[in-house]
């Protein structure tokens, strides 16, 4: 399963701007800088939510009749379940939710054809159990249970068996019925033993309209004659292999499909979107073949269907043989969608196809081991797509986009959790669908692949899959297969036990900071470990088995990621020898280990001066990225002085590579927010605008068809960054392209990749004529996207006019967008924050009167200001505002003040370092 729109844990102003071009635009709230992860719900209860397991399912035969018509969105269901009673008992317990059982129809027959009288049906709604009690004890053995039931096809709950709709070319609403069972919603469609380890076979039959197609995990076995009374027919699918309940799926729709020659692989969508399905077909087939080759195990099912669903909670779901997608995640068209959308579609398909082995063939025995499927699927999103698209540099993107931007931030918060995290209630299970399970899972897998070496890792995975096919596993099953293969090839030294090593990474929260402290006289280096907290707190005693790779200025070996040493869990530190005093050393080659690295001041200086020379290219781009990301975050955590990070940053003006630049943009974006409107702000912006000049000259402002993949991404990043930071050249280019487009969109089209840049950057310095033409676009088709562009103008007269429109009844700006229009001013530009704050103070009553739900809106904005304000002057204004309207803001006002106070405290402590550094740098 792929989550939708995993907004990273620490997204600030500029990242939102950059991400507009790279993610779909939805509201990403400005989360607290250092801790944005959703906390795991505490297991506050002692209730046991697990099934008693005195009985187990063997096979389900399920017959369903969905009614996909207005005024009757329901379904009838019948299940015939072969089960085994393992322990003699007078009851059978299984899962059920929101189904109405026809109790008179329930029957249980033992293999000897004896009918067992049902004494009662009990519904434990808290545990979502159906408990069938019998008049007598059921002896152990096999039974057939028959249940008849009715359920609803809701449209507001996007799980279980539910309905979705789209508008066809005639403007009519067309309904379809679909499923989303993971993690705990199969029980909403049929009574079942709804735990991942309780596998069984499924034979699904669905009665549907002749104009509709029914799809399920398996190919069609047979179809009945048409029932003349209702113009419907039964489609029965072949019996599945044994599988988990959460992977069962069925869809009833009037969709069309594209397919390969033998129809083994088909991609389905509503017919009026089918032109966007071809890419998913070619990419999906190719990725499936690569997975078959990588695992040396053929895909287990006879066919694969991929289908896009208009209303879908997650990004996608890996149902075995019938993968469901959110439309925007599966459809891609050249010339219409961006290169980033194309990459996302390729990646998400790899993710779901990976699950066909990791998750579907071999399943986690309980949700505690969810990362065993999601970690692999997240890792192979990059790894397998990289095999198909060799020029996309996805493994480099894995480091800078997944590991640095998300994982290391989320996992250094105080509220992180171990990968093997138990969960009991459906809410606790859902809370595990987070950055740790997905991206830390992938990071730990990446580290293992590097220290075992990729070929051995691959051989170990094939053994793991073969040993455990059609079974359910824990992490120990993975360790033992990898250990076996490692032993056969003598990869790990005998004292290194894989389980011991890996348990330190999956049973404990967080990750280590490795500190390298050199003695420049003796040539020794002390290598120590402690747990790293982004808050700056010192380690809590947690230790790991840490694979240590490194190189030096004399070696310059950035190719081998095999560990040269290990720090055992029992030790705080080890000592290494042989470092030449004039050499720098860099640890964690290509950031293959899951940790951060700090050095003594002198080694940082040696790295800095080497980087700021023509030799910088000798340091691998991933290690340049690592040095930027580690030093920036160590400074944010108060582990090193910001001057070390700034000294390193000087070199970036030489570099034009996407990889180190991506890290620089990420760190810089946090600093942008922290320094916005302080004394150092203009120098900070000047420094980075100058740093971007060589890169902009290298990529230009125009996209070419033959541009390398990462050049396209680098262009979007660097020009969005330069325009936000105030580059006059960048802004005038953007405005010129925007004006030309608005004048004549046919003659001056904008590539889908650059559309967001042109609008968000071009409008900053645009005159009223151009701004009004953008307003006209909104008038023709009102959308939040355009509202957000309009607020990015940095002309106070235009903004005042914008707010006038947004506070007038029946004006161009829809009333429902009035409050968003205000937010758009402060949300996308540090330079507009003071204007927005003053506007709110001066026009409080007018805004309060105009907005629908004004209290909620006021709290939304004051909370945002709490995160964005950085100066004492702003804080004084905020305090007066909150005090004056304490009845509106309540405790949220106080929280905003506390946040702003903490920002001001940060400014007081750290801004002088920046100011001094910049005045030195510019010799002011
Ligand atoms: Zn997944």
Instruction: Give the pLDDT confidence of 263-274 residue by residue, as tens digits.
Output: 899 999 999 999
Residue pair 774/786 in contact (Cβ under 8 Å)? The answer is yes
Length of the chain: 924
Together in a domain, 502 and 356: yes
Q: What does the buried/exposed string (b/e) look like for 313-338 if buried means 16 or more CB atoms within 10 Å of the residue's CB? A: ebbbbbbbbbbbbbbbbbbbeeeebb
Q: Specify the number of domains making up the chain.
A: 3
Residue finishing a domain among 614, 632, 664: 664
Interatomic CA distance for residues 345 and 644, integer angstroms: 39
Together in a domain, 491 and 533: no
* Ligand 1 centroid from CA 245, angstroms: 16
Question: Which residue matches tokens 């793991």?
Answer: 464
Together in a domain, 656 and 526: yes
Together in a domain, 490 and 592: no
- Choose, from 352, 389, 428, 591, the residue flagged as catalytic: 352
Nearest residue to 141 via CA among 81, 61, 242, 56: 56
* Ligand 1 centroid from CA 449, angstroms: 20
Q: Rg of the Cα trace of the chain?
A: 30
User: Looking at the domain assignment, is residue 415 inside a domain?
Assistant: yes
Binding residues for Zn(2+): 351, 355, 374
User: Looking at the domain assignment, is residue 135 inside a domain?
Assistant: yes
Output the CA torsion 832→837→838→839 (10° steps): 80
Helices 728-743, 709-724: inter-axial angle, 10-degree rounding: 110
pLDDT reading at 406 higher than 60: yes
883 is catalytic: no
Residue pair 144/82 in contact (Cβ under 8 Å)? The answer is yes
* Ligand 1 centroid from CA 763, angstroms: 39
User: Looking at the domain assignment, is residue 43 inside a domain?
Assistant: no
* Ligand 1 centroid from CA 360, angstroms: 11
- In the structure, ligand 1 is a single-atom ion and the residues with CB under 5 Å from it are 1-2, 374, 377
Both tokens of 171, joined, read 């403007």
pTM attached to this predicted model: 0.94
Together in a domain, 449 and 534: no
Together in a domain, 455 and 544: no
Interatomic CA distance for residues 761 and 764, integer angstroms: 6
pLDDT at 13: 47
pLDDT at 353: 98
Q: Report residue 16's pLDDT band, with 50, 70 and 90 as the boundaries.
A: low
Q: What tens digit of pLDDT does each residue of 293-350 get? A: 999 999 999 999 999 999 999 999 999 999 999 999 999 999 999 999 999 999 999 9
Task: Output 345 or 25, whichever has higher pLDDT.
Answer: 345
Interatomic CA distance for residues 521 and 226, integer angstroms: 89
Helix count (H) and strand count (E) of the chain?
31, 31
Residue pair 821/832 in contact (Cβ under 8 Å)? The answer is no
* Ligand 1 centroid from CA 314, angstroms: 10
Q: Report residue 3's pLDDT band, with 50, 70 and 90 as the boundaries.
A: confident
Residue pair 757/21 in contact (Cβ under 8 Å)? The answer is yes
Together in a domain, 520 and 466: no
Residue finishing a domain among 254, 284, 307: 254
Interatomic CA distance for residues 526 and 478, integer angstroms: 33
Residue pair 832/825 in contact (Cβ under 8 Å)? The answer is yes
Interatomic CA distance for residues 244 and 1, integer angstroms: 14
Together in a domain, 660 and 569: yes
* Ligand 1 centroid from CA 482, angstroms: 22
- Helix, strand, coil percentages in the chain from 3-state DSSP, rounded to 5: 45, 20, 35
User: Looking at the domain assignment, is residue 743 inside a domain?
Assistant: no
User: Looking at the domain assignment, is residue 590 inside a domain?
Assistant: yes
Dihedrals φ, ψ of 152, to 5°?
A: -100, 155
Q: Could you list the residue range(s) of the whole structural domain that residue 578 is in?
A: 512-664
User: Looking at the domain assignment, is residue 818 inside a domain?
Assistant: no
* Ligand 1 centroid from CA 177, angstroms: 22
CATH number of the domain residue 187 falls in: 2.60.40.1730
Interatomic CA distance for residues 564 and 555, integer angstroms: 13
229: how many CB neighbours lie within 10 A of its CB? Answer: 6
User: What are the start-end ranges of the H helices in 3-129?
Assistant: 13-20
Together in a domain, 552 and 570: yes
Output the CA torsion 322→325→329→331 (10° steps): 60
pLDDT reading at 20 higher than 70: no
CATH number of the domain residue 604 falls in: 2.60.40.1910
Together in a domain, 502 and 575: no
pLDDT at 262: 84
Residue 123 β-bridge partners: 130
pLDDT at 4: 80
pLDDT at 32: 29
Q: Give, in order, the Cα–Cα distances in Å from 839 to each of 418, 823, 842, 901.
A: 46, 11, 5, 21
Together in a domain, 497 and 368: yes
User: Looking at the domain assignment, is residue 810 inside a domain?
Assistant: no
CATH number of the domain residue 417 falls in: 1.10.390.10
Interatomic CA distance for residues 774 and 752, integer angstroms: 17
Together in a domain, 639 and 491: no
User: Looking at the domain assignment, is residue 221 inside a domain?
Assistant: yes
Q: Give, in order, the Cα–Cα distances in Å from 406 to each of 240, 394, 436, 542, 673.
A: 37, 16, 9, 22, 18
Mean pLDDT of the residues in the chain? 94
Both tokens of 58, joined, read 């063997």
Q: Angle at the Cα of 109 (from 103 to 115), degrees rounded to 5?
A: 80
Residue finishing a domain among 616, 637, 664: 664
pLDDT at 22: 34
């Amino acid at each position: 399963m792929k989550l939708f729109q995993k907004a990273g844990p620490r997204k600030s102003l500029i990242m939102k701007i950059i991400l507009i071009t790279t993610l779909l635009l939805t509201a990403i709230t400005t989360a607290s800088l250092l801790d944005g992860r959703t906390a795991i719900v505490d297991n506050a209860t002692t209730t046991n939510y697990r099934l008693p397991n005195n009985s187990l399912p063997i096979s389900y035969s399920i017959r369903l009749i969905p009614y996909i018509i207005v005024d009757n969105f329901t379904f009838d269901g019948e299940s015939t379940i072969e089960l085994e009673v393992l322990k003699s008992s007078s009851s059978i317990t299984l899962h059920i939710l929101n189904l109405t059982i026809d109790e008179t129809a329930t029957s249980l027959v033992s293999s000897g054809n004896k009918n067992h009288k049902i004494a009662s049906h009990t519904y434990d709604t808290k545990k979502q159990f159906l408990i069938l009690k019998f008049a007598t004890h059921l002896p152990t053995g096999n039974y057939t249970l028959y249940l008849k039931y009715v359920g609803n096809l809701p449209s507001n709950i996007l799980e279980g068996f539910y309905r979705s709709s789209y508008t066809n070319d005639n403007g009519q609403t067309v309904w379809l019925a679909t499923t989303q069972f993971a993690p705990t919603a199969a029980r909403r469609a049929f009574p079942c033993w709804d735990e991942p380890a309780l596998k069984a076979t499924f034979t699904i039959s669905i009665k549907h309209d002749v104009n509709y197609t029914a799809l399920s995990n398996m190919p069609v076995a047979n179809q009945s004659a048409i029932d003349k009374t209702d113009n419907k027919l039964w489609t029965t699918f072949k019996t599945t292999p044994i599988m988990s309940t959460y992977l069962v799926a069925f869809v009833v729709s009037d969709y069309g499909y594209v397919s390969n020659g033998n129809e083994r692989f088909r991609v389905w969508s509503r017919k009026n979107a089918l032109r966007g399905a071809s890419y998913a077909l070619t990419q999906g087939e190719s990725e499936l073949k690569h997975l078959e080759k990588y695992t040396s195990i053929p895909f287990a099912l006879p066919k694969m269907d991929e289908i896009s669903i208009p209303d879908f909670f997650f990004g996608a779901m890996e149902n075995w043989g019938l993968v469901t997608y959110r439309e925007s995640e599966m459809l891609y068209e050249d010339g219409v969608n961006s290169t980033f959308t194309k990459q996302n579609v390729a990646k998400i398909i790899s993710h779901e196809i990976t699950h066909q082995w990791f998750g579907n063939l071999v399943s986690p025995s309980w949700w505690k081991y969810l990362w065993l499927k999601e970690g692999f699927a997240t890792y192979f999103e990059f790894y397998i797509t990289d095999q198909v698209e060799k020029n996309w540099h996805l493994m480099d993107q894995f480091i800078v986009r997944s590991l640095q931007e998300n994982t290391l931030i989320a996992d250094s918060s105080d509220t992180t959790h171990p990968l093997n995290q138990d969960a009991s209630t459906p809410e606790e299970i859902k809370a595990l669908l987070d950055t740790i399970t997905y991206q830390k899972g992938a990071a730990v897998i990446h580290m293992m692949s590097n220290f075992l070496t990729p070929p051995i890792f691959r051989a170990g995975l094939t053994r793991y899959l073969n040993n455990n096919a059609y079974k359910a596993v824990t992490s120990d099953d993975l360790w033992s297969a990898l250990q076996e293969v490692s032993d056969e090839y003598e990869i790990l030294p005998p004292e290194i036990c894989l389980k011991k090593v890996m348990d330190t990474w999956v049973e404990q929260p967080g990750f280590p900071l490795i500190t390298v402290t050199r003695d420049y006289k003796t040539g020794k280096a002390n290598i120590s470990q402690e747990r790293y907290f982004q808050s700056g707190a010192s380690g809590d005693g947690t230790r790991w088995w840490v694979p240590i790779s490194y190189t030096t200025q004399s070696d310059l070996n950035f190719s081998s990621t095999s560990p040269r040493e290990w720090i055992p869990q029992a030790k705080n530190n080890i000592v290494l020898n042989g470092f030449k005093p004039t050499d720098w050393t860099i640890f964690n080659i290509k950031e293959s280990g899951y940790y951060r690295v700090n050095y003594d001041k002198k080694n940082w200086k040696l790295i800095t001066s080497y980087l700021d020379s023509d030799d910088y290219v000798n340091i691998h781009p991933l290690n340049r990225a690592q040095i930027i990301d580690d030093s920036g975050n160590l400074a944010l955590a108060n582990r090193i002085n910001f001057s070390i990070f700034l000294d390193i940053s000087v070199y970036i003006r030489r570099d034009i590579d996407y990889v180190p630049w991506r890290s620089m943009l990420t760190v810089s974006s946090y600093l942008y927010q922290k320094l916005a409107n302080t004394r150092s702000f203009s120098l900070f912006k000047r420094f980075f605008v100058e740093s971007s000049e060589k890169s902009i000259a290298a990529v230009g402002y125009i996209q070419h068809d033959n541009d390398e993949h990462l050049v396209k991404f680098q262009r979007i990043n660097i020009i969005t960054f330069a325009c936000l930071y105030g580059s006059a050249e960048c802004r005038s280019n953007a405005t010129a392209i925007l004006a030309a487009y608005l004048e004549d969109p046919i003659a001056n089209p904008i590539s889908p990749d650059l559309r967001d840049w042109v609008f968000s950057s071009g409008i900053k310095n645009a005159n009223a004529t151009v701004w009004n033409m953008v307003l006209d676009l909104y008038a023709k088709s009102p959308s939040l996207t355009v509202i957000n562009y309009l607020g990015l103008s940095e002309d106070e007269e235009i903004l005042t006019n914008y707010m006038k429109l947004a506070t007038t009844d029946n004006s161009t700006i829809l009333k429902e967008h009035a409050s968003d229009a205000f937010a758009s001013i402060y949300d996308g530009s540090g330079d507009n924050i003071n204007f927005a704050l003053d506007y709110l103070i001066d026009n409080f009553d007018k805004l309060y009167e105009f907005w629908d739900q004004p209290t909620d809106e006021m709290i939304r904005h004051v909370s945002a200001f709490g995160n964005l304000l950085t100066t004492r002057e702003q804080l004084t204004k905020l305090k007066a505002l909150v005090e004056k309207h304490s009845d509106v803001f309540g405790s949220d006002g106080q929280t905003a003040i506390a946040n702003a106070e903490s920002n001001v405290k940060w400014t007081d402590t750290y801004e002088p370092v920046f100011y001094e550094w910049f005045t030195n740098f510019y010799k002011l």
